[in-house]
C-alpha cells in the first residue's frame, strides 16, 4: 500500500465556500494510486469541509443563509467572544459540519456524484490562510 500526505494551503474570503475539488483531484491523479481512499482534514476550529452541490450557486448561498439563522452573530448569546461576534458562531458552524472527509478513489479518480464538489467552508468574517491535510492511500 502506498500512502501520500500533502498540505493544501488556501486563502479564503469572509464567509465563503471555496471549491477545492480540482486541487484535490489533481493530487489524486498525480499520486498514481489506482484504487484507495482520499482523506481530508482541516487544521482549524472556525472553518470546515463539506461535500455539496456544485451546479447551482444558489445552494451555497442558501447554506450560508441557513447557518446565519442557526448560529447568529449575537455576542449576548455566547460566553466565548474574545475574537469578536463571529468567533463562537464560527465554532458552532464547524461543529455542525465536518473537519474531515473520506472519498473513495477508483481508477485514479475521486468517486463523487455528478453534482458533488468538495468545499472548504470559511466561517469567519474575514479571510484566513487555511491548511487542509490531504492523505491519499491505496494501490
pLDDT, tens only, 74-104 = 999 999 988 999 999 999 999 999 999 999 9
| Mean pLDDT taken over the chain | 97
pLDDT, tens only, 11-35 = 999 999 999 999 999 999 999 999 9
What pLDDT shows up at residue 111?
98
pLDDT, tens only, 96-130 = 999 999 999 999 999 999 999 999 999 999 999 99
Average pLDDT, stretch 26-55?
Answer: 97
Q: How confident is the model at residue 137 (pLDDT cuts 50, 70, 90)?
A: very high
Q: HEC states along the chain?
A: CEEEEEEEEEECCCCCEEECHHHHHHHHHHHCCCCEEEEEEECCCCEEEEEEECCCHHHHHHHHHHHHHHCCCCHHHCCCCCCCCCHHHHHHHHHHCECEEEEEEECCEECCCCCEEEEEEECCCCCCEEEEEEEEEEC
pTM of the model: 0.95
Grid cell 482541516 is found at 42
Give the fold, CATH level 3, of 2-138. Jelly Rolls (2.60.120)
pLDDT, tens only, 56-69 = 999 999 999 999 99
Domain ranges of the chain: 2-138
Amino acid at each position: 500500500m502506498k500512502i501520500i500526505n500533502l498540505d493544501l494551503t488556501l486563502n479564503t474570503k469572509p464567509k465563503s465556500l471555496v471549491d477545492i475539488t480540482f486541487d484535490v483531484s489533481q493530487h489524486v491523479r498525480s499520486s498514481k494510486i489506482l484504487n484507495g481512499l482520499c482523506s481530508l482534514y482541516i487544521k482549524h476550529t472556525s472553518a470546515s469541509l463539506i461535500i455539496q452541490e456544485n451546479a447551482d450557486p444558489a445552494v451555497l448561498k442558501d447554506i450560508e443563509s441557513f447557518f446565519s439563522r442557526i448560529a447568529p452573530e449575537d455576542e449576548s448569546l455566547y460566553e466565548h467572544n474574545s475574537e469578536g461576534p463571529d468567533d463562537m458562531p464560527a465554532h458552532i458552524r464547524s461543529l455542525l459540519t465536518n473537519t474531515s472527509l473520506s472519498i473513495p478513489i477508483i481508477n485514479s479518480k475521486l468517486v463523487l456524484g455528478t453534482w458533488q464538489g468538495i468545499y472548504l467552508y470559511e466561517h469567519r468574517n474575514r479571510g484566513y490562510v487555511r491548511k487542509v491535510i490531504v492523505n491519499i492511500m491505496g494501490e
